[in-house]
């Protein structure tokens, strides 16, 4: 029997009671409530209903992940959806949706896995993948239909089988404000809408479909040129030239291979100056977390103006100051990451995407000349990818000597509670003993509230963006997100470095 429940946060939820019988079989035989359950099937349904009421209404946190009801509601009531429309918006508006198929082909899977880090990559799209789509939409004079960030493919609000529980879907506006701020209006382009709205106004018979040709989809109709800038132009012409209201593009306009290659640098200049990047800020939710931490992080600086950030009012952008006293260091660790480093070394891989920007110090000898012997090369990759404790301390010391304004350290790391042997705490202790005013670790010092943890990556990135000096990991896409934002802000390239 199937039971359907209304779901205030998304599509209705259907549960098959057969699933419950399976569940029952897995329970220990002597569980005392079971006999009565077997006798009264209705009681089981009642239990399920009560369970759902608890999940959706009472929703105790922890252990339940946050439900982002404010952000979902805000996305669903954007003015461009509620009828306050300008040219190209509303029922007869012009839209584009990019559909990146999940896990296309073996190579794709492998390279993604090897790059697997933090949330931005586990969505199988990085911050700038998303921003590039938005950039293309604005250039093509179309409204971008954006998807939420998907952590787990389940109809439930979270995957019950994975512990600790974390949200299956997070509204994009919980991370970044660019999708809801409506800045596009000031460039005479239609504003972005959530994909759910797109599906209402663009039923499939109204869609003009294009499939990007690649190894897995040779039958596609859209063959992209190699050069980054020409590729952008090609898609712009397609989007702006089409008479159809709804255009859907299947496939990744910019894939991993593209970001590994030098082609990603071709589009850097125009991308970094584009309206999308110019107006990029993290979300009100993320910046509120930092506002709460300001008294310990940077007592003298102005809090973020949350109102102004959630809504663009002109082509002007909100400038922030640099936190000259903060040295931010990105430390990637863990078994998966060790494998990534190993693989990068073995194939003499370059730094990822914008970490290759020529002005930045520390990327000039990666990849090394092919004459370098293998052992030396592996050593080089290890030092760049998995710096040792002593190197980390020495680097911090050297940075303070060169930049005497530095007083505090902010450590970005993906190491969670399962940090074996407390490596990160050891680093923290070493640094504290060197006489730094503060050594901050996001998850302990800034976003330690349960409901803030899922947004921690964005908090880390924003602090690293504003830090006086940033030392990043050249093989990390989180670092390359930060590098892109720091170069946009015009921070001197010497202040953005790598291990
Ligand atoms: C992302 O890719 C990995 C494999 O590389 C896959 O296991 C995961 O399910 C994908 N995630 C999504 C949301 O598609
Ligand atoms: C977008 O298209 C509309 C008409 O549909 C036009 O008025 C507007 O100027 C265009 N915007 C840009 C930036 O070309």
Using most ligand atoms within 8 A of CB, pick from 86, 88, 96 the residue to mutate for ligand 2: 88
Query: Do 52 and 82 fall within a single domain?
Result: no
CA-nearest residue, atom 14 of ligand 1? 102
Residue partners of 247: CB distance under 8 A and separation at least 6: 95, 96, 97, 142, 207, 208, 210, 238, 239
Query: What angle in degrees, to the nearest 10, is found between the helix axes of 17-26 and 41-53?
Result: 100
Is pLDDT at 490 greater than 80 in this prediction?
A: yes
For the chain, how many structural domains are there in total?
Answer: 3
On whether residue 482 sits in a domain, the answer given is yes
Parallel, antiparallel, or unpaired for β 149-150 and 496-498?
A: unpaired
* The last residue of a domain, from among 246, 278, 310: 278
Query: Positive or negative, the Cα torsion across 347, 420, 409, 402?
Result: negative
Query: Do 87 and 50 fall within a single domain?
Result: no
Query: Do 47 and 114 fall within a single domain?
Result: no
On whether residue 114 sits in a domain, the answer given is yes
Is pLDDT at 298 greater than 90 in this prediction?
A: yes
Ligand 2 neighbourhood includes 88 CB (under 6 angstroms) = yes
Confidence of residue 393 (pLDDT cuts 50, 70, 90): very high
Give 402-405's long-range contacts (Cβ < 8 A, gap of 24+): 403/327, 403/468, 403/469, 403/495, 405/324, 405/325, 405/468
Measured CA to CA, the distance from residue 470 to residue 464 in angstroms comes to 6
Q: What is the DSSP letter of 212?
A: B
On whether residue 421 sits in a domain, the answer given is yes
Query: Do 46 and 79 fall within a single domain?
Result: no
> 435 C-alpha to center of ligand 2: Å?
57
Ligand 1 neighbourhood includes 105 CB (under 6 angstroms) = no
> 188 C-alpha to center of ligand 2: Å?
6
pLDDT per position as a tens digit, 138-192: 999 999 999 888 777 778 888 777 777 888 888 999 999 999 999 999 999 999 9
CA-nearest residue, atom 4 of ligand 2? 87
C-alpha separations of 169 from 23, 155, 157, 193, 496 in Å: 24, 10, 7, 17, 33
Strand partners, 439: 409
Measured CA to CA, the distance from residue 325 to residue 51 in angstroms comes to 49
**Average pLDDT in the 427-432 region?**
93
Question: Tokens 């006798």 — which residue?
Answer: 39
Please state, for a pLDDT cut of 70, what percent of the chain lies above it: 85
Which of the two residues, 120 and 163, has the higher pLDDT score?
163
Class of residue 393 by CB neighbours under 10 A (exposed 0-12, middle 13-18, buried 19+) = middle
The two three-digit tokens of residue 251, written as one number: 């496939």
In the prediction, which pLDDT does 67 show?
A: 86
Query: Which of these, 2, 159, 182, lies nearest to 74 by C-alpha position?
Result: 182
* The last residue of a domain, from among 58, 78, 104: 58
Q: How many CA atoms lie within 13 A of 161 on its CB side?
A: 4
Ligand 1 neighbourhood includes 102 CB (under 6 angstroms) = yes
Q: At 105, which CATH number?
A: 3.40.50
> 124 C-alpha to center of ligand 1: Å?
6
Q: H or E element: which one contains 98?
A: strand 95-99
Query: Do 453 and 362 fall within a single domain?
Result: yes
Omega into 275 within 30° of 0, i.e. cis? no
On whether residue 308 sits in a domain, the answer given is no
Is pLDDT at 39 greater than 80 in this prediction?
A: no
Asked if residue 304 lies in contact with residue 287, where contact means CB atoms within 8 angstroms, the answer is yes
On whether residue 294 sits in a domain, the answer given is no
Ligand 2 neighbourhood includes 240 CB (under 6 angstroms) = no
Confidence of residue 37 (pLDDT cuts 50, 70, 90): low
Residue 468, SS3? strand
pLDDT per position as a tens digit, 201-246: 999 999 999 999 988 788 889 999 888 889 999 999 999 999 999 9
CA-nearest residue, atom 1 of ligand 2? 141
Counting from 1 in the atom list of ligand 1, the atom nearest the Cα of 108 is 5
Measured CA to CA, the distance from residue 298 to residue 317 in angstroms comes to 22
Q: At 450, which CATH number?
A: 3.40.50.11350
CA-nearest residue, atom 3 of ligand 2? 87
Query: Do 384 and 475 fall within a single domain?
Result: yes
In the prediction, which pLDDT does 281 show?
A: 94
Query: Do 44 and 109 fall within a single domain?
Result: no
Query: Do 74 and 13 fall within a single domain?
Result: no
In the prediction, which pLDDT does 117 show?
A: 44
Give the structural domain span for 351.
318-498
Query: Do 348 and 238 fall within a single domain?
Result: no
On whether residue 155 sits in a domain, the answer given is yes
Measured CA to CA, the distance from residue 294 to residue 446 in angstroms comes to 9
Query: Do 334 and 480 fall within a single domain?
Result: yes
Q: What DSSP line would sit under 395-439, residue for residue? A: HHHHHHHH-TT--EEEEEE---TT-GGGHHHHHHHHHHTTT-SEE
Residue partners of 314: CB distance under 8 A and separation at least 6: 186
Query: Do 8 and 101 fall within a single domain?
Result: no
Residue 488, SS3? helix
Is pLDDT at 127 greater than 90 in this prediction?
A: no
On whether residue 312 sits in a domain, the answer given is no
Query: Which of these, 157, 117, 222, lies nearest to 457 by C-alpha position?
Result: 117
Query: Which of these, 330, 393, 333, 352, lies nearest to 129 by C-alpha position?
Result: 352
Longest dimension (CA), the chain: 76
* Of 7-16, 201-210, 224-233, 417-426, the least confident: 7-16
* Of 90-94, 118-122, 308-312, 494-498, the least confident: 118-122
Q: What are phi and psi of 378, to 5 degrees?
A: -60, -35
> 399 C-alpha to center of ligand 1: Å?
38
Q: Identify the nearest ligand to the CA of 88 by its number.
A: 2
Asked if residue 155 lies in contact with residue 52, where contact means CB atoms within 8 angstroms, the answer is no
Query: Do 160 and 255 fall within a single domain?
Result: yes
pTM of the model: 0.83
On whether residue 295 sits in a domain, the answer given is no
* The last residue of a domain, from among 230, 254, 278: 278
Q: What is the DSSP letter of 143?
A: E
Give 36-40's long-range contacts (Cβ < 8 A, gap of 24+): none
């Amino acid at each position: 029997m199937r039971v359907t429940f209304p779901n205030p946060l998304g599509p209705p939820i259907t549960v098959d009671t057969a699933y419950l019988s399976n569940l029952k079989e897995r329970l220990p035989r002597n569980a005392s409530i079971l006999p009565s359950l077997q006798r009264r099937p209705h009681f089981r349904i009642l239990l399920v209903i009560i369970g759902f009421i608890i999940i959706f209404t009472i929703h105790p946190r922890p252990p339940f992940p946050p439900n982002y009801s404010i952000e979902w509601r805000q996305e669903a009531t954007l003015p461009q959806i509620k009828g306050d429309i300008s040219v190209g918006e509303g029922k007869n508006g012009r839209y584009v949706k990019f559909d990146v198929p999940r896990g296309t082909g073996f190579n794709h899977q492998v390279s993604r896995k090897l790059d697997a880090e933090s949330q931005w990559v586990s969505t199988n799209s990085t911050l700038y993948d998303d921003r590039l789509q938005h950039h293309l939409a604005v250039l093509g004079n179309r409204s971008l239909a954006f998807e939420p960030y998907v952590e787990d493919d389940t109809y439930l609000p979270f995957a019950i089988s994975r512990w600790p529980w974390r949200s299956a879907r997070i509204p994009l506006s919980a991370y970044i404000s660019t999708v809801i701020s409506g800045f596009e209006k000031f460039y005479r382009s239609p504003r972005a809408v959530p994909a759910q709205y797109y599906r209402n106004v663009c039923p499939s018979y109204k869609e003009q479909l294009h499939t990007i040709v690649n190894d897995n989809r040779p039958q596609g109709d859209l063959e992209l040129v190699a050069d980054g800038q020409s590729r952008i132009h090609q898609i712009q012409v397609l989007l702006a030239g089409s008479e159809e209201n709804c255009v859907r593009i299947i496939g990744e306009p910019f894939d991993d291979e593209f970001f590994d290659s030098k082609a990603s640098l071709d589009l850097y200049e125009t991308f970094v100056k584009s309206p999308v990047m110019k107006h990029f800020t993290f979300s009100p939710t993320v910046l509120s977390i930092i506002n709460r931490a300001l008294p310990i992080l940077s007592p003298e600086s102005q809090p973020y103006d949350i109102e102004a950030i959630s809504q663009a009012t002109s082509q002007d952008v909100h400038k922030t100051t640099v936190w000259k006293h903060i040295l931010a260091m990105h430390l990637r660790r863990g078994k998966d990451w060790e494998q990534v480093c190993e693989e990068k070394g073995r194939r003499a891989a370059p730094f990822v995407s914008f970490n290759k920007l020529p002005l930045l110090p520390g990327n000039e000898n990666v990849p090394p000349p092919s004459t370098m012997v293998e052992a030396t090369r592996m050593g080089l990759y290890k030092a760049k990818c998995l710096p040792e404790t002593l190197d980390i301390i020495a680097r911090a010391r050297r940075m303070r000597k060169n930049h005497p304004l530095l007083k505090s350290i902010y450590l970005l790391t993906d190491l969670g509670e399962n940090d074996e042997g407390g490596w990160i705490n050891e680093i923290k202790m070493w640094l504290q003993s060197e006489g730094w005013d503060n050594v901050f670790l996001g998850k302990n010092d800034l976003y330690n509230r349960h409901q803030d943890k899922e947004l921690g990556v964005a908090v880390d990135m924003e602090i690293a963006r504003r830090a006086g000096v940033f030392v990043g990991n050249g093989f990390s896409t989180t670092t390359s997100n930060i590098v892109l934002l720091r170069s946009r802000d015009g921070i001197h390239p010497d202040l953005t470095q790598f291990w």
